[in-house]
Homo-oligomer: A and B are copies of this chain.
Amino acid sequence: MTTDPPRPPPYLRIAAEIRDRVESGALRPGDRVPSTRAITQEWGVAMATATKALATLRQEGLVRAVPGVGTVVVERERVRSPRAPGDPMRGEPALSRRRIIGTAIELADSEGLGALSMRRVATALSTSTMALYRHVPGKAELVRLMSDAVSGEEPMGAVPADWRAGLEHAARWMWRANGRHPWLATAMASFTRPAPAPDAMAYTEWVLHALRRTGLSPFAMMHCHLTLFAYVQGLAVAADLESQARQDTGLSDEEWLARNEPQFGAIVAGGAYPLLNTLFTQDEFDLDLDTLFEFGLRLTLDGIAAMIDETSA
What is A's interface to B at a CB cutoff of 8 Å? 185-186, 189-193, 196, 198, 201-202, 204-205, 208-209, 212, 218-219, 222-224, 226-227, 229-235, 237-239, 241-242, 245, 253, 256, 260, 263-264, 267, 272-276, 278-279, 282, 285, 287, 289, 291-292, 295-296, 298-307
19 contacts between A and B (CB under 8 A): A190-B241, A191-B238, A191-B242, A191-B287, A191-B292, A192-B238, A192-B242, A193-B242, A196-B267, A201-B267, A208-B279, A209-B275, A226-B292, A226-B296, A230-B238, A231-B296, A234-B237, A299-B306, A299-B307
Give Cα distance in the complex from A274 to B295, angstroms.
Answer: 32
Find A234's partner among B233, B291, B302 (CB 8 Å cutoff). B233
Say what secondary structure dominates the interface of chain A. Answer: helix
Are A303 and B299 closer than 8 Å at their CB atoms?
yes
Contact B226 A230 (CB under 8 A): no
Distance to closest chain B CB from A25 (angstroms): 38
For residue A191, which residue of chain B has the nearest CB?
B238
A218 x B282 contact (CB < 8 A): yes
Q: Residue A208 contacts which of B230, B234, B275 (CB distance < 8 angstroms)?
A: B275
State whether B307 touches A302 (Cβ < 8 A). Answer: yes
Give the distance to chain B from A52, nearest Cβ to Cβ, in Å: 13
The closest CB in chain B to the CB of A208 belongs to B275
Q: What's the least CB distance linking A308 to chain B, in Å? A: 11
Q: Is A227 in contact with B276, judged by CB distance below 8 angstroms?
A: no
Q: Contact at A218–B279, with CB atoms within 8 Å?
A: yes
* Cα distance, A193 to B230, chains bound together (Å): 21
Provide the residues of chain B in CB contact with A231, threshold 8 Å.
227, 230-231, 234, 296, 300
A285 to B223, CA, bound (A): 11
B276/A196 in contact, CB under 8 A:
no
Residues A201 and B300 in contact in the complex (CB < 8 Å), given A189-B241, A190-B245, A263-B196: no
With A218-B285, A273-B205 in contact, is A223–B296 under 8 Å at CB? Answer: yes
Q: Tell me if B190 and A275 are in contact (CB < 8 A).
A: no
Cβ contact within 8 Å between A292 and B223: yes
In contact, B279 and A222 (Cβ under 8 angstroms): yes
Residues of chain B with a CB closer than 8 A to A300's CB: 227, 231, 299-300, 303
| Cβ-closest 4 pairs across A and B | A234-B234, A227-B296, A299-B303, A230-B234
| Contact of A273 with B201 at beta-carbon distance under 8 Å, contacts A231-B231, A303-B302, A306-B302 already known | yes
Q: Write the chain B residue with the least CB distance to A248.
A: B140
**Cross-chain contact B193 with A256 (CB below 8 angstroms):** yes
A232–B264 alpha-carbon span in the complex (Å): 25
Q: Residues of B contacting A287 with CB < 8 Å? A: 191-192, 222, 226
Task: Decide: A273 and B191 in contact? CB cutoff 8 A.
Answer: no
What is the minimal beta-carbon distance from A261 to any residue of chain B, in angstroms? Answer: 10
In the assembled complex, how far is the CB of residue A4 from the closest CB belonging to chain B, in whole angstroms? 24
